[in-house]
Amino acid sequence: MKRDFDITLARKIRWYNFFKNLPGDLAHGLRKRYAPIRGNPPALIERGVTFIYPEYDFCWPPDVELGYNARLRANIAFAGSVTLGDDVVVGHHSILWAIGGGENYIKVGNGTGLGAFTVLMTRFHQYRRKDVRFTKQGPVEGKPIIIGDDCWIGIRSIIMPGVTVGKGAVVGAGAVVTKSVQPYKVVAGNPAKIIGERE
């Protein structure tokens, strides 16, 4: 049964990819129809949004669920289990990869915005051993990423595996978030540190 599901999903993604870069309202309608998502139809899927189908060991089939009025800007890439709440906006050229299977997933709460070029990845590569080439060390075990309601994740931010961003928090542009962020805190920098709080 799993094989049948994968074949069906692969076909749907192939059709979607055929329409993903075409301009115009008709192409937008076809993107919405063939996008491999669960939940509500998105309010917007701009050109170039990509759902990664696993051609390599590190990718998992996209299992994307969208809330009401979600908006996906151009050239976003999805892989693995990603859930976006109501009124979520994902900026162009963002990457949301819940790669590695198992408990790896990304969840974004209602009313949250992800700026352009934001990266959320649930695992990354090993690098500590000097006696083994970097490309041979493989990935670390993945951890989920959870972003609460009413958050703003600034342009070019990177959210690392295992991070939870609390309700109403703000992540400044270009931040690298390696630890969880408490609700309504404002963080910035690399690594991200608290620089303020929403009033």
**pLDDT 10s digits, 138-179:** 777 789 999 999 999 999 999 999 999 999 999 999 999 999
Token digits of residue 67: 């809330």
Tally of CA atoms within 13 A in the half-sphere of 58 that contains its CB: 12
Mutual orientation of helices 2-19 and 25-34 as an angle, nearest 10°? 170
Residue 185 has pLDDT above 90, yes or no: yes
Its pTM stands at: 0.80
How far, rounded to the nearest angstrom, does the alpha carbon of residue 193 sit from its chain's CA centroid? Answer: 22
What is the C-alpha separation between 1 and 66, in angstroms, rounded? Answer: 25
**What domains can be seen in the chain, in order of their start residue?**
2-197 (2.160.10.10)
What span, in angstroms and rounded, lies between the C-alpha atoms of 9 and 13? Answer: 6
Q: Exposure of 187 by Cβ count < 10 A (0-12 exposed, 13-18 middle, 19+ buried)?
A: buried
Furthest CA-CA distance within the chain: 55
Residue written as tokens 């309010």? 43
Percentage of the chain beyond pLDDT 90 is 45
Distance CA 59, CA 62 (A): 9
C-alpha span between 41 and 71 (Å, rounded)? 10
Q: H/E element holding 66?
A: strand 63-66
**What pLDDT digit, counting tens, does each position of 64-117 carry?**
888 888 888 888 888 888 999 999 999 999 999 887 656 789 999 999 999 999
